[in-house]
Structure 1
Amino acid sequence: MSSESTEVGGVPVAALKRHAELSELVEDARWRYYVLDQPTVSDAQFDEWFKELLALEEAHPSLQTPDSPTQKVGAPVSGDFAKVQHLARMESLDNAFNAEDMTGWATRAERLAEGDPGPYLCELKIDGLAIALVYRDGKLERGATRGDGRTGDDVTANVRTIKGVPHRLKGDDVPSLVEVRGEVYIPVEDFKKLNEQLVEQGKPPFANPRNSAAGTLRQKDPRITAQRPLRMLVHGIGIWEGATVPRAQSEVYDRLREFGLPVSDLYRVVPDLDGVNAYIEHYREHRHDPAYEIDGVVVKIDDFRTQRELGSTSRAPRWAIAYKYPPEEVNTKLLDIQVGVGRTGRVTPYAVMAPVVVSGSTVERATLHNAAIVEKKGVLIGDTVVLRKAGDVIPEIVSPVTALRDGSERKFVMPTHCPECGTELAYEKEGDADLRCPNTRSCPAQIRERIYFAAGRRALDIDGLGYVAATALTQPLPPQEPVVRTEADLFDLTLEQLLPIKSVVRDQDTGLPKIDPKTGEQKVVSFFSNINGEPSANARLLVEELERAKQVPLAQLLVALSIRHVGPPTARDLANAMRSIDAIMNASEEELAAVEGIGPRVAATIKEWFEVDWHREIIERWRAAGVRMEDEPAPEKGPQTLEGLTFVVTGTLEGYTRDSASEALASRGGKVASSVSKKTSFLVAGENAGSKYDKAVSLGVPILDGAGFEVLLNDGPEAAAQVAVKPEEA
């Protein structure tokens, strides 16, 4: 491509760059929100990024690849609990932000349903943690978080402690197997009391009710969970077997309430879109009436048959949508604008404000993203600003209140040099919005952030290496020298190196030193030794954890390397395909791009990373320290009897979920598609197959029922063709 080229593969270069930037932002936001329980952007900002991604992919369909955030649900599961497969995929919801969005959704639903899709069920969108409960023969068998939609964290022991969640269903006609979906939350008043108790105990309070619910449900000790005021409300089902199947969402709620499950009494079934809008407007005005935090309304088509006809996209049902309320706003004083340096060198301005309570928590900091955003918002240091906090996550400054200016305000000037290492800042490439510190190898801030990230749960998962410890290792008090100058030093650490280290305690969000309110001086900690100069429990734990971390799976090792665009999902794809760090390091760009879920853009980034000498030094130093660099060989594939064939699965198959049926086909080499076309080899149709059955008939696609599906799996496609329902017979 010449330097004057404006398109690549028919897509404008500017669109490619923006898509890459948004993808990184969305994946990072999901990771921090769902896994770390430490959200760094508002719901509103995330929604804006996601909408822009969708718009880019609609304008340029080639950007919609399997590794795009728009094709994924939720986020990776944590590393603290056993992993379980959901019986049916847990999807996300598309969002509406105004009446026009709602009308557009309803119009599309009416077109796809070929008629009025109503009535509609409206319910409040609780700002909590999604959960799936499995009851077998009426007994609670399992509770799991949503995770990435297919795999979640097994939190059964903690779920059993939630008040109102029955351990056994009651009543007649209980399904032999039912998967119930709902939201775990902490009531607002209970949240306030909980935070007061934590403060009295000298512990940090939770940022908001959602984080408190998520943190409580992920406690390793269920006795702690039992002491917290968790509650749950049910809002749907994934699987229902062995009992009379309800015909509508509202019927499900009636049945679940009869079984003893907690169901909200605030939902309403309305006949048309006017009723939907009236419900939305009522709770816009009465947002704080419920006992729990809400951030909108969920609208569902009530009839299950219509739901099946509409189906889903790759991540969200077409029969439901979330109407998001505007985030809450307050005014406060902008005292200063400072900058922080992240693990990729990105230098980010952030606002320092007079403390203000918004959405139930006190706020002093807000990100400003980059200098261009500061300029675009038109804010000056000293302004009174409008602060918006959406969904109780990290806030953002909306705009200045210019009518309140008195002339003392001053303009923010972006620094030209890194505030931590003094290196001149630069854009990585032309057109970038973010300045970065190019001193990737030696910048203390970047090293600190990378070490802290590498120790995270989805990477090396090292207990004892939190933010304070990472700071102590990389930025001890002078005249001490850092014992960790790059990631390469990490696995060579010894107790002797740790003992003398003292460090300034820094704020995790800003990286600035914390001040002791009694002395007015910086807080200093001797983190790795006790008052007798002996190794502390933290020091011994860290050394033990480093030894254990040498055996983490390859995917976690890849995440720990901080390769741009290689988060947990991409790392898992790479590890499954390549099996060793050497195979990845020595693969060509084309070979990397051929890995499912990777693509050319990420492949180029991976190749570039491994071509840097000091990056390879990290690998070799870790290898020399005994870090495992490969996974066990992949299990041998069974006979690929369905290779080259394409299938669509619809309806309810006895003995299979939709996902397990698809996996059975894929394991034999078959390709599973979401919609029927002339290229479909077979439609696998269970009960209540819906519109896909009709389309297969119209296109002449052979149809297999449950018995025919078993013939296909056991005897192959030729035998299945003999028992398939021919379109003319359907």
Structure 2
Amino acid sequence: MDQSKLKERVDELNALLLEYGHAYYVLDKPLVPDAMYDGYFQELLRIEEQFPDFIYPYSPTQRIGGETLSGFNKIPHEYPMLSLSNAFDEEELRDFDRRVQSGAGSNVSYICELKIDGLAISLKYVDGVFVQGSTRGDGSVGEDITASLKTIRTIPLKLKEPISIEVRGEAYMPKKAFVQLNEARDEAGEEPFMNPRNAAAGSLRQLDPKIAASRNLAVFIYGIAGDAGEYGVDSHSDALDFVSRLGFETNKERKRCATIEEVIEYVNIWMDKRSNLDYDIDGIVVKVDLIEDQEQLGYTARSPKWAAAFKFPAMEVQTKLVDIELSVGRTGVITPTAILEPVLVDGSTVGRASLHNEDLIKEKDIRIGDTVIIRKAGDIIPEVVAPIIEERSSNAQPFEMPKECPACDSELIRIEGEVAVRCVNPQCPAQMKEAIIHFVSRNAMNIEGIGERVVDQLYEAHLVHDVADLYTLTREQLIELDRMGEKSVSNLLTAIEASKQNSLEKMLFGLGIRHVGEKAARILAEEFETLRELMQADTEKLTSIHEIGDKVATSITTYFGNEDVLKVIGKLEMHGLNMSYKGLLRQEVPTSGVFVNKTVVLTGKLMVLTRGEAKKAIEALGGIVSGSVSKKTDIVVAGEAAGSKLAKAEELEITVWNETQLIEALGEKES
């Protein structure tokens, strides 16, 4: 057979195997007997072995698993993978509905989806071919697990249309596969996985993709990253239908609901039926369906305002409360923790649980020695719900908060109006250690290799007393610590050095200023651009910034008025840490031009520009890009399949452009 005919046969085999694989693994409707599929597969494999140039990235043979990786590369997400706000009961769902109607009107509809208990992933395709897959990570940066994801049969290596797209989904392990995996591990004398979620995550984060290939994982796609409107869809339900047509598996149990009462009915149905599924779910995701309504509602720093996750009630179990232990947080708050007789809760063994504060312990009358009910709050954090009074013994001891700090013996105080008891000694070793742990954490300076154990060692060895001391550490000092070999030390020093280049908002959050979370840190960094500018701001200047209130402003000025703080910042500066905001700094905006102070709405699918490119270009020329059409809109740019926004623009007699007119106005010429 000559080369051209051989290539034709390879193309034919790839097309057949992709079609048969999709029907078998995604649609659960086999088109041919297994023996026929295997015969075609072996024929393709033989040709590829003899003619490697005919191996395509989307060939089914590439699912077998490639070479073992040396590590995972970090991948910044072009579109952040945000969290969802949670609802735990019907009233919280109704509160969500009231907020939605307040922001988008009373005619909103919802789409409900099962919340798969797995690992969030992102898949990127270029011209219809799978090129990259990653974990969620911290939402901004994930890990490249492309090799492992290629082994999952429900992930198409080639789409049914040659388009470029990024989709988001949940990788999970079916219950049957989980049972088989644990049986095999048990026979091999290995520790079993505690639940399918951990098994799925552990499988995909193996450096050898052959391990993932052997574990029968699956994926449900739940959305398109970025602007779904680019693909001519007007709603989330349409987007799910669209990705299904491309070859992805979406969860078929989704339902469109016209009212929040229909949503609640759907939630209650699946709360009862979830045990019948072949995969674990831990709740229901509720999303506003129309993309136009989503755009109008917008986002907070961490989550979309148009979506919420209803979390199923946690499983409750009983155990004995053996003791109450106190810990000191980075702000000096003393937190009581229950020490329990270990017990299995929802798939994991729990020996400690939160008691929150002294008032809660007294209010619930929780005593050392009680039999207590515990659960996982939001299926994650164990907490003590209540004691079982009928089973209380005469030896049960009421809890009394000590008068002195358990870490430094300083007097504890309680500020009027607060439930927290605090140690206010700035030199308290527990606070200083917690401050360092927070500083190096993923969402702050992200220094990998420094956890609680390493911080304890560094502190006990008198190598660090504050966060600035991290930047004085040497190989000779670190190599002396327990369980720190040459590679660990090298990686740690590299991570410390790399953190010097972080943008200002990372440092601001890492410093642990009271009431300054990630969102406030970014707002402050964007506003002041340098740390020195922020340090000189007074409360009046701070409170003039949108979303910075009196409490946050007072906390910031108090923090930077502390001499010890100024010394630490001086040392950080001396060690070469970046003190500036690296994001989109304010640029000079034109004072004249067609877009200056004009509000523009983009709708439908653009053919030359992406929505993102158009938005950036318009804003660079002084325009404002909005997600919804109103009387204040000046121009609507209508691409292909423009829907309700175009209709509304025509109704309001707003200027409507096509994409060619937009490009001409931007100063570009079509080639």
TM-score normalized by structure 2?
0.73
Return 5+ residue gaps in structure 1 as ranges: 1-78, 477-481, 502-525, 529-534, 716-730
Alignment partner of 1:420 is 2:407:
yes
Instruction: Give the whole-Å Cα distance in 1 for the aligned partners of 2:212 and 2:538.
Output: 49
CA deviations 1:167-206 (Å, max 9, x no partner) are 53355xx262344332122345656787899999999987
Alignment partner of 1:617 is 2:617:
no
Instruction: Give the whole-Å Cα distance in 2 for the aligned partners of 1:569 and 1:278.
Output: 35
Which residue does the alignment assign to 1:493? Answer: 473
3-state SS of the aligned residue for 2:221? strand
Which residue does the alignment assign to 1:169? Answer: 158
Alignment partner of 1:385 is 2:372:
yes
Which residue does the alignment assign to 2:31? Answer: none
Contact kept? 1:312, 1:318, Cα under 8 Å: no
Q: Which amino acid aligns with 1:486?
A: D
3-state SS of the aligned residue for 1:609? helix
Alignment partner of 1:141 is 2:131:
yes
Instruction: Give the whole-Å Cα distance in 2 for the aligned partners of 1:632 and 1:714.
Output: 28
Give the number of the structure whose alpha-carbon radius of gyration is greater. 2
CA deviations 1:651-685 (Å, max 9, x no partner) are 44334555544333333333344444444333444
Alignment partner of 1:469 is 2:454:
yes
Alignment partner of 1:444 is 2:429:
yes
CA deviations 1:330-373 (Å, max 9, x no partner) are 12222222211112211111111111111111111111111122
Which residue does the alignment assign to 1:293? Answer: 280
CA deviations 1:91-116 (Å, max 9, x no partner) are 84774733894699499889978879
Q: Kindly tell me the number of residue pairs found equivalent between the two proteins.
A: 590
| Deviates further, 597-606 or 202-211 | 202-211
Alignment partner of 1:585 is 2:535:
yes
| Deviates further, 351-360 or 221-230 | 221-230
Which residue does the alignment assign to 2:633? Answer: 680
| Deviates further, 187-196 or 657-666 | 187-196
Distance 1:704 1:448, change over 3 A: same
Instruction: Give the whole-Å Cα distance in 1 for the aligned partners of 2:634 and 2:83.
Output: 27
Instruction: Give the whole-Å Cα distance in 2 for the aligned partners of 1:471 and 1:285.
Output: 46
Offset at 1:271? 9.4
Offset at 1:704? 3.7
Which residue does the alignment assign to 2:416? Answer: 430
Aligned counterpart in structure 2 of residue 664 of structure 1, from 601, 617, 629: 617
- Describe how 1:353-368 pairs up with structure 2 within 5 A: 353-368=340-355
TM-score normalized by structure 1?
0.68
Alignment partner of 1:183 is 2:183:
no
Offset at 1:618? 1.0
Aligned counterpart in structure 1 of residue 439 of structure 2, from 439, 451, 454: 454
3-state SS of the aligned residue for 1:644? coil
Contact kept? 2:602, 2:611, Cα under 8 Å: yes
Contact kept? 1:426, 1:436, Cα under 8 Å: yes
Instruction: Give the whole-Å Cα distance in 2 for the aligned partners of 1:571 and 1:220.
Output: 35
Offset at 1:414? 1.5
- Describe how 1:97-136 pairs up with structure 2 within 5 A: 97-98=89-90, 101=93, 105=97, 122-136=112-126
Offset at 1:317? 7.4
Contact kept? 2:145, 2:204, Cα under 8 Å: no
Aligned counterpart in structure 1 of residue 144 of structure 2, from 148, 151, 155: 155
CA deviations 1:46-88 (Å, max 9, x no partner) are xxxxxxxxxxxxxxxxxxxxxxxxxxxxxxxxx97121313x9
CA deviations 1:478-528 (Å, max 9, x no partner) are xxxx23222343323345555666xxxxxxxxxxxxxxxxxxxxxxxx455
3-state SS of the aligned residue for 2:373? strand
Instruction: Give the whole-Å Cα distance in 2 for the aligned partners of 1:269 and 1:85.
Output: 29
- Describe how 1:205-354 pairs up with structure 2 within 5 A: 209-210=196-197, 213=200, 217=204, 230-238=217-225, 256-257=243-244, 259-267=246-254, 279-298=266-285, 308=292, 313-315=297-299, 322-354=309-341
Contact kept? 1:132, 1:179, Cα under 8 Å: yes
Instruction: Give the whole-Å Cα distance in 2 for the aligned partners of 1:159 and 1:494.
Output: 36
Distance 1:132 1:545, change over 3 A: closer
Q: Which amino acid aligns with 2:507?
A: L
3-state SS of the aligned residue for 1:473? helix
Contact kept? 2:100, 2:306, Cα under 8 Å: no
Alignment partner of 1:606 is 2:606:
no
Contact kept? 1:124, 1:296, Cα under 8 Å: yes
Contact kept? 1:96, 1:102, Cα under 8 Å: no
Instruction: Give the whole-Å Cα distance in 2 for the aligned partners of 1:161 and 1:409.
Output: 56
CA deviations 1:207-260 (Å, max 9, x no partner) are 7554565566566776776676643112344566998x6798677666655644
Contact kept? 2:369, 2:393, Cα under 8 Å: no
Q: Which amino acid aligns with 1:618?
A: V
3-state SS of the aligned residue for 1:355? strand
Which residue does the alignment assign to 1:82? Answer: 75
Contact kept? 1:132, 1:180, Cα under 8 Å: yes
How high is the sequence identity, in percent, across the aligned residues?
36
3-state SS of the aligned residue for 2:456? helix
Instruction: Give the whole-Å Cα distance in 2 for the aligned partners of 1:81 and 1:339.
Output: 37
Q: Which amino acid aligns with 1:374?
A: I
Distance 1:217 1:431, change over 3 A: farther
Which residue does the alignment assign to 1:409? Answer: 396
Distance 1:693 1:148, change over 3 A: farther
Contact kept? 1:109, 1:319, Cα under 8 Å: no
Contact kept? 2:503, 2:583, Cα under 8 Å: no
Contact kept? 1:125, 1:298, Cα under 8 Å: yes
Contact kept? 2:86, 2:308, Cα under 8 Å: yes
